[in-house]
Chains A and B, each alone.
Chain A
Amino acid sequence: MYLQSLQEVFGPEATFREGQDKAIEQLLNKKRVLVVQKTGWGKSLVYFLTTNILRSQGEGVTLIISPLLALTRNQIDSTRKYDLVADCINNQINKTLTEKVEVIERCNRGECDVLFITPEQLQNDSFIDLISQLRVGLFVVDEAHCISDWGHDFRPDYRRIHQLLQILPENIPVLATTATANDRVIKDVTKQLGDCEVIRGDLQRESLHLHKLYLPTAEEKYAWIAKNINRLQGSGIIYATTIRECERLAMWLRQNAVDARAYYGRLNEDDKIELENRLQNNQIKVLVSTIALGMGYDKENISFVIHYYTPKSVVEHYQQIGRAGRGIDQAVCVLLYGGEDENRINEHFIYHSFPKQEQIDQVLSYLSQNDEVKMLTLEQVMNIKSTTLKQILKLLLIEGFIGKSGASYFRTLKPYTSQRKYYNSVINIKVQEYNELLEFQRTADCQMAYLTKALDDPNTRPCMKCSTCLGEAWDFTDDSLSHDDMKQVLAFFAKNYITIEPRRKSMLTNKKLTFIHEEGLALSYYHEQLGQQARRGKYELNLFTDLFVRTSAYKLRRFFSDKGYNISEVIIIPIPSNRRPELVPRFAQRLANTLKCNYANILAKRPNEPEQKSLLNTSLQEQSIREHLYIKDQINLDNHHILLVDDFVDSKWTFTVAAELLGEMYDDIKVTPFALADTSGSD
């Protein structure tokens, strides 16, 4: 029936995939529809074609909620094929209100057919005012598993969509689409949609060849990737968890003459666009990416996806491998798993998805007793990490327990009911989902069958393509690692620096600091093996063994010579501690001996300083350090290069304030901080 519209876009040979035309028809009848179909099936086609028809009937714009920015850009590109004009509103592209107003006006003037927004926008009052002016013909929730609490990473923004669906008048049709909804998620999403039609198909991806491999250390994973990357044809994506990991892995690959680049949400927009384009045009071998480039992303010829870490759920895994093999017959997907770090990190994310109840109560009770309270005031009166505070406020706002006007918050009339039970149930599901993936690591079943079964696909069957099904016949990868392969990785790791970037502004005064230290160095990450050894040294042995002196000396020599400094001209100054007065000074002294440089123990702390890590937000940390740290001995250090040594670095306030004290006291000095472990981001 709508075949003509399809063929106008895809040529006279084109036919609908089963269910596409039915979905379109329902939407044109103003119905609500949930489409659950495998990755690459053509869910976007349903809403783009429907838009074409609705627009020709004089209806308003199609509003699409799309979870990831990279996806939005990718989708906007594909609207051209449908002869649709698309625009988007998000915090990166049209930052100012005037820009956003313009977009809305273009839509209402009929100059735009499709408007993409990110779910975060729905939190923003001025944005809500804007879409209140928008004449909408079709509302689409792409990747709709996200609106279910059981569907994906819990994103409070999606609770807004739930609220929206409850109140949206029935004269606007709604389409929700996803590839990854098991029975429970389908039930939940259909409940949110209300009266709706579900169009569901099987999930098996014929083009994908799945493989999994146990490699317990980062070094082995690095070696494997270097060895296999060129065996894999075409270009692809490697998924890693953190930005630093993406950067380091990409650097390793480049060192192995592989055209690799790191990709993550925090890159600036131009860089991201350039990287996306290079991937799209096959001008790059591999992007090492966080989940920022995940679900929905449509490029026809991605021919491999490697997981450097184990995803947190089958949903995430199936979504990410779903990027591969969309318009080609064959693609390889490999899960590299194993190692203590990995579980620790994933479990940390799972268990810390919600703030602590005591902290929520604290915020609520303060707001109850006051009229309107500024964010700044809240930060100052409450000992809560500012990211946590923000998260608490966001959750409370969405649930309606508090309201916001401008930069102030206030308690609403809604009686507070603890959300703990609900939070716990979300956490339990997440644990279960993670276990499902750990089980996937161990399963002896067909890998594709395992995944589709976990997603409740009724047509699950052995794929005859994965490394389990193929057994000995699997030859897409070479999994043996030689001594030589490993040696290169070890050399790379030894040379790799974990840097400490200087702070530039005081959080207390919001003014520039009077003195800023050089880029510093951390020996390890806290969650890695060496970092954990440092933890034992501090809390159990009260001693950092010779291993630390040796490796620190080795790293520091290289670090200084790379920067063109002479390490033996440096003066080492330890950061004092009243709790463990000997630990750091003794280590610093031995380090100075090994490096053959001077040592001066001239800093001290006034008594009764609270432990830094007990101060949860950065302005409290800065304040406490400023109140306690001072220079106790006056020796002349003019014109010297000082190496500040501490055990752990987290907020960086100790180094920052110490450097500032020294900088104010002496002329023409340089200060470089050094710590045994970087604990930022771990609790």
Chain B
Amino acid sequence: MQFTNNEIATYLFCAQLTQTRTKALTILEWNAIVKSLSQQKLEPEVLLTINSTELLNVLTHATEVQKSKISEKIQARQKLGFSMIELKDIINQGFGIMFRSNMPPRLKKLTTKYTPAFFYYAGEPSILSHRSLGVVGARAATEQELTQTFDIGSEAASYGIVIISGGAKGVDTTGVEATLQNGGKAIVFPADGLMKWVKKSNIRSYITNGQLLLMSAQRLDAPFSGAYAMQRNKFIHAPSDAVLVASSKISGKKKSGTWEGVLENIKHQWSPLYVIGCSEGVEKLKAQGNAELFSSFDKVFTRNERSEPKKRTESNEIDERIISLIKLAIAKGLDRETIEEKFVDFSTRYYEKQKQIEQDNTQNLVVHEQLSMEEYMRGKVD
């Protein structure tokens, strides 16, 4: 994988890089930079060479406090180019980096306010485009809750539904293991770095055969962090089509991770909630009408389809156009075989050409990156 100067700059200033003993930009600082830059038709690569006066002039979308922090952070890292060998090593070992411009629509539900500048990942990122069920719940769930979670996880496999979880002990792990063992797919956002995970032989085999995707915004060797565990709740709730709450306490003096995540979801209306069992949190969700009992995949996911009406009409439209093309072809006297061949032929050629363009034209990539960045920003920055 070759990186563009923009990507290199993004990583240099946004990655944790604790070994450099300097600070990374926060998501909000990065958003302010991106917005300022794109307004002036500049790209992140300028950050590599810009001096502090120029930078302060450019930062039109940053607060005064942000300006001085940003300037300080950029100065501190500008000449630490050798730290980028970290990125090279990460890629060399088979991990991937997903910059914002490559994130699928599902993740964009998070909005920029919560989207890190990039995710580290291990596995096949296309898993993110499948329909998915988030599974959250306490580490200390009851036997019964776990059994039920296991059954739901296993069933997800046969429905082609991906399980998304936080990889903690208890509910998270049960749901994921159930689906993996039954040939299903899962996405895990662990609260610690990914390195520890891929050192395990069985994890590696699930990853290599395309069943498991691990994602994290933390450096690969990060230890468990409570703060990040809270942050990553969003990564589970936002992209899921529905979220199953298998067991939860209610935050009291001590905050419950599961519960906080659920509250956030309700606040942002990311995805409908379903529950099982009768834990404290689950009862409250039911009582307040914030969640329904999980009955069956058929119910949950047909209902859910309504939340994607746009896609549906889009695909209807395409169907209709294809049908009219076929009618036209028949009218012109083509036989069935020729028509089918033509479809295959054209789509093959189209995709090959697309691939060619992508490979050849890195210039394009930069533009694309920028475009999607702007599209991203449009009216959405909080």
Measured between alpha carbons, how far is A209 from B20 in the docked complex, in Å?
Answer: 52
Contact A133 B201 (CB under 8 A): no
A134 within 8 A of B: yes
Are A415 and B201 in contact, with the CB atoms below 8 A?
A: no
Q: Mark B68-107, 1 if CB is under 8 A from A, else 0.
A: 0000000000111111111111001111000000000000
B93 touches A412 (CB 8 A): yes
CB-contacts of B1-32 with A (<8 A): 2-3, 5, 8-9, 12, 17, 19-21
Contact A170 B48 (CB under 8 A): yes
Return chain A residues, CB-CB under 8 Å to B83: 131-133
The residue of chain A having its C-beta at the shortest distance from the C-beta of B205 within the complex is A368
Q: Is B49 an interface residue (CB 8 A)?
A: yes
User: CB-nearest residue of chain B relative to A135?
Assistant: B79
User: Roughly how many angstroms separate A129 CA and B17 CA in the complex, as a whole number?
Assistant: 9
The reply to whether A169 and B204 contact each other, CB–CB distance below 8 Å, is no
Determine if A169 and B86 form an interchain contact, defined as CB atoms under 8 angstroms apart.
no
Q: Per-position contact with B for A122-136: 1 when CB-CB < 8 Å, else 0? A: 100000110111111
Query: Beyond A132-B82, A166-B88, is A411–B201 a contact (Cβ under 8 Å)?
Result: yes
A168 touches which of B49, B78, B81, B200 (Cβ 8 Å): B81
A17 to B152 CA separation, bound complex (whole angstroms):
77
Which of chain A's residues 371-413 have a Cβ closer than 8 Å to chain B? 371-372, 399-400, 403, 405, 410-413
Evaluate contact between A167 and B87: CB separation under 8 angstroms.
yes
- Check A163/B92 contact, CB under 8 A, given A132-B17, A169-B8: yes
> CA–CA, A371 to B89, complex, Å?
20
Size of interface on B: residues with Cβ below 8 Å to A = 37
Q: Are B8 and A369 in contact (CB-based, < 8 A)? A: no
Bound Cα distance A415, B20 (Å): 30
Asked whether, in the complex, the Cβ of B93 is within 8 Å of the Cβ of A400, the reply is: yes
B199 at the interface (CB under 8 A from A): yes
A414 located at the interface, meaning its Cβ lies under 8 Å from any Cβ of chain B in the complex: yes
Asked if A551 is an interface residue, CB under 8 A from chain B, the answer is: no
CA distance A415 to B93 in the complex (A): 9
Residues of B contacting A122 with CB < 8 Å?
85
**Could you say which residues of chain B place their CB within 8 Å of the CB of A520?**
none
Q: Which B residues are CB-close (under 8 A) to A170?
A: 5, 48
Residues A369 and B201 in contact in the complex (CB < 8 Å), given A133-B20, A403-B93: yes
Contact for A135 among B17, B80, B195, B200, CB less than 8 A:
B80
A67 at the interface (CB under 8 A from B): no
Asked whether, in the complex, the Cβ of B5 is within 8 Å of the Cβ of A169, the reply is yes
The reply to whether the CB of B198 lies closer than 8 angstroms to some CB of chain A is yes
**Shortest CB distance B143–A (Å):** 29
Binary flags per residue of A589-604, CB closer than 8 Å to B gives 1, else 0: 0000000000000000
The reply on A60 being an interface residue by CB < 8 A is yes
Instruction: Report the minimum CB–CB distance from A134 to chain B (whole Å).
Output: 6
B86 & A132 in contact (Cβ 8 Å cutoff)? yes
8 Å CB interface, B178-208 against A: 195, 198-201, 204, 207-208
CA distance A153 to B49 in the complex (A): 37
Query: Does A171 sit within 8 A of B, measured CB to CB?
Result: yes
Q: Which residues of B contact A166 (CB under 8 A)?
A: 2, 88
Residues of B within 8 A of A411 (CB): 201, 204
C-alpha spacing A164/B8, complex, angstroms: 13
Report A-chain residues with C-beta under 8 Å of the C-beta of B87: 167
Looking at the assembled complex, report how far the CB atom of B211 sits from the nearest CB atom of chain A, in whole angstroms.
Answer: 13
Interface residues of A in 176-228 (CB under 8 A from B): none
Which residues of chain B come closer than 8 Å to A136, judged between CB atoms?
Answer: 79-82
B62 at the interface (CB under 8 A from A): no
Q: How far is the CB of B318 from chain A (nearest CB, A)?
A: 35
Contact A368 B201 (CB under 8 A): yes
B122 an interface residue at 8 Å Cβ cutoff? yes
Q: Which residues of the partner chain B approach A135 to less than 8 Å between Cβ atoms?
A: 79-80
Give the chain B neighbours of A60 by CB distance below 8 A.
Answer: 79
Pick the most buried of B21, B48, B80, B86: most chain A CB atoms within 10 A of its CB. B80
Which one, B80, B88, B122, contacts A413 given CB within 8 A? Answer: B122
Q: Least Cβ distance of A410 to chain B in Å?
A: 5
B92 close to A399 (CB less than 8 A): yes
Q: Give every chain B residue within 8 A of A40 (Cβ-Cβ).
A: none
Q: How far is the CA of A136 from the CA of B198 in the complex (A)?
A: 33
The answer to the question of A71 belonging to the interface, with a C-beta cut-off of 8 Å to chain B, is no
Is A370 close to B, CB under 8 A? Answer: yes
Encode contact with B along A105-139: 1 for CB under 8 Å, 0 otherwise.
00000000000000000100000110111111100
Mark A349-377 against chain B: 1 for CB-CB distance below 8 A, else 0. Answer: 00000000000000000001111100000
Pair A410/B94 contact, Cβ less than 8 Å: no
A232 proximal to B (CB < 8 A): no
- Please, which residues of chain B bring their CB within 8 A of the CB of A28? none
C-alpha spacing A60/B81, complex, angstroms = 11
CA distance A403 to B86 in the complex (A): 13
- Say yes or no for A63: interface residue by CB 8 A criterion: yes
Smallest Cβ-Cβ distance to B87: which chain A residue: A167
Residue contact A137 to B79, C-beta cutoff 8 Å: yes
A486 at the interface (CB under 8 A from B): no
Answer whether residue A172 sits at the interface, using C-beta atoms and an 8 A cutoff.
yes
Q: Do A133 and B80 form a contact, CB below 8 Å, given A166-B88, A170-B48, A413-B122?
A: yes
Are B204 and A167 closer than 8 Å at their CB atoms?
no
- In the complex, chain B residues whose CB is within 8 Å of the CB of A399: 92
B80 near A132 with CB under 8 A, answer yes
With a cutoff of 8 Å between Cβ atoms, the chain A residues found around residue B198 in the complex are 410, 412-413
Residues of A with C-beta under 8 A to B78: 171
The smallest beta-carbon distance between A371 and chain B, in angstroms, is: 5
Contact of A132 among B9, B20, B94, B201 (CB under 8 A): B20
Interface pair B19/A129, CB less than 8 Å apart: yes
Which residues of the partner chain B approach A63 to less than 8 Å between Cβ atoms?
82
A residues 500-537 with Cβ under 8 Å of B? Answer: none
- Distance of B340 from chain A, by nearest CB (Å): 35
In the assembled complex, which residues on chain A have CB atoms less than 8 Å from the CB atom of B86? 128, 132
Bound together, the chains give a CA A171 to CA B85 distance in angstroms of 15
Known: A134-B82, A167-B88; 10 extra A-B contacts, CB below 8 A, are: A132-B17, A133-B80, A136-B79, A136-B82, A163-B85, A163-B88, A170-B48, A403-B93, A405-B195, A410-B199
Subset of 17 A-B contacts with CB under 8 Å: A128-B86, A132-B83, A133-B19, A134-B80, A136-B81, A166-B2, A166-B88, A169-B12, A169-B81, A170-B5, A171-B79, A371-B199, A410-B199, A411-B201, A413-B93, A413-B198, A414-B93
